[in-house]
Amino acid sequence: MQLTLVPLDTATDDLARKVAGSLRKMIPWKVTISRRLEGTHTPLPGNPANAIALLASIADAPVPDTVEVVITPHDITISGKDHVFGYAMPDSSIAIVSTHRLTATHKCRHPRRLLIQRICKEVLHEAGHVQGLEHCNVAACVMHYSQNLHDTDLKPCRFCSTCVKELSKLPHVTEDPQEG
């Protein structure tokens, strides 16, 4: 499995690198960073972007055994919700995570570290949805639903054993032995 982080613009370049570094220590997937999509899909200032429309405008043909997660500093929304931390489109193997509402709103010792942790959790959560996982009832699972930042902070950055089992049932693309 490959997880590719896609920074939407320069504001998320460094965050994508930090998140990729953290995720490489946590999960057995290959974690890469794609080129930035700067200037191509930027919402108007002060307006939340429609996550579905934004992803639809970015999505290419799905690459087997690869999940792409766009990281954006812009607030995102979907129909019926005024904001979301992230959104996944499983049929396109793509998801989006917004850093807009993940920043520390209170004084904490390491706000940057907290932001990276939150982004990692949201990236894994949305990658899980792309892979077919639903929200999990286990509070100690990254797939547990987060209504607010407090919920996100409480859950770990890992899948519970039930979700790991579900992920292990997924078909995996094997490499052609003739390829290098």
| Domain ranges for the chain | 2-168
29, 2 Cβ separation under 8 angstroms = yes
3-state secondary structure of 16: helix
- Whether pTM > 0.95 for this model: the answer is no
Whether 126 is catalytic? yes
Question: What is the reported pLDDT for 40?
Answer: 55
3-state secondary structure of 108: coil
Question: What is the reported pLDDT for 97?
Answer: 96
6, 69 Cβ separation under 8 angstroms = yes
Q: Of 68, 122, 126, 166, which is the active-site residue?
A: 126
Under CATH, to which class is 2-168 assigned? Answer: alpha beta
Q: Which residue has the tokens 């999505």?
A: 59
Give the separation between CA 149 and CA 146, rounded to whole angstroms: 7
Give the separation between CA 5 and CA 51, rounded to whole angstroms: 16
Average pLDDT estimate for 42-56: 75
3-state secondary structure of 160: coil
Question: pLDDT digits over 112-162, tens only?
Answer: 899 999 999 999 999 999 999 999 999 999 999 998 999 999 999 999 999
* In the predicted structure, residue 174 carries a pLDDT above the cut 50: no
* In the predicted structure, residue 30 carries a pLDDT above the cut 70: yes
Tell me what the pLDDT averaged over the chain comes to. 86
Q: Which of 34-48, 75-89, 166-180 has the lowest mean pLDDT?
A: 166-180
